[in-house]
Structure 1
C-alpha cells in the first residue's frame, strides 16, 4: 500500500500537473476573478520553477556534497542503492540506464583503485506491477561485464524503497560480521534520506554521493534569467525527494 501511495504522490507533486490544473481551472471557472488568479498562478509557477539560478541554489542547499576520491579510505563493502536502470521487455538483451548510472560507475572506479573490496547492490523492481528484472540483478550484470569477480558482488533484490533498502541491507550486514567499514553510495539528492534510513536500521556507513544535479554558481544570462526546461523538470525530483524525506521522518522510518 505504501508503495502505491508513494507512486501516486510522485505524480501529484509534479509542477507540470499544477500548471495544467490551473490552466484547466482558468478555462472552466465562471468567475473572472478566479480565472485571472488561475492564469497568474500558472504563469508564476512557470516563471519561478524555470529559473535555472534558483533551481541550482535549491539543489546546492539540498544535495550532500561530494567526498573527494583521494579522501576515500579502504572499505570492505560499497552499498549501492539502485533506481538507475530500466527493464525493457522489447529490448531485453542489454542494460538500460538512466542519468544516475554514476551510482555504480563511481564505486567501480573505487574498486579498481583498491579502495573497496566488495559490492552490495540493494534494490528490486520499481514498477507497480510485477514482471521486471530486479535492478540489483541488472547492475550486477554490468559489473560482471566489467570483469568484477562474481564472488565480490552480493545482491539484495527484494526492496522497493529506501526504507526497505536499509532494513534488508541490515539483515545482510548481520550475516557478515567481517564487514567493519561500509560505504553508502547513492545520488547526492537521495543521500539525506538514505543515510538517515540506514542509521535508523543500525547500519553504520560513510556517505559517498554521486550523480549531482547542483553545479558551481555561474552568473551568465543563460544561468540566471533565461528560462530552462531542465530546471523546471528538475524541481519535480527535488520536491519529491524533500517530501519523501519529511514523510519518512513523520512515519519514523528515518
Structure 2
C-alpha cells in the first residue's frame, strides 16, 4: 500500500500552498499514523519509515521512492552531506533518496531524522519537480535547531519542521513529558501551548538536573536526541520559559 498524504496545493503545478507549522504537523500526523501502524511504542526508526514510504501518493499523484541507505553521500564539491533527495527527468514519477550510511552509522536517531527530512522533500518538493530538469534537496546539518534558522531555505525549513513533528509529534510528546515529570515529582502549570488540550506544561524553576533527566527519558521514548526533544518542547511551548540553555 502506498503512503497517502494530502495538503493544500496548487492543482496545476502540484506545489504546496503556504503551509503553517500546524499544517505541516498535520501532514506529519498523516504519515506517522500509516508508518506506525502495528508498531508498539513511540519510536519511528529509519527502516520502518523507509518500508512505509517506498511508494507515496501526494494529493492524488503517485510517486515511487528509491531509497539508498548503504553508501556515502556528497555534494557537488565532494563534501559529505547527511542525505539528498533528487529527481531525474529520465525517471518519471520517481524520487531518488539517499541517506549517508557513513555519517549516520551507529546513530539510529540521526538516520531517522535524515530519512524523515528527505521524505519531507519527497512529499512537498518532488511533485512540482517531476518532469522538470533534475533537482536536488540536501540535508546538510545534524543540528535539530536548524529549523529555527531563518537563513535556511524555505524548503529546508519545511522539511525540518515536518521531520520534527513526524518523529516527536506534539500530543504524544506532551503526554510522555507529563508521565515522566509526574514520576519525578516536577511542578507543572497551566499555560498556553500547542500540545494536548487541557493539559499542563512543565513549570519553570524545577531542578535543572531533574528536568534534564525527564528530557533524556522522553528522548529515549521517541528514539531521538535530548537536544531534539528540547527543540520540540520549545516548538510546542511545553516547557515554561522556552528552550533549555
Larger Rg: 1
TM-score using structure 1 length: 0.27
Higher helix proportion (structure 1 or 2): 1
TM-score by length of 2: 0.27
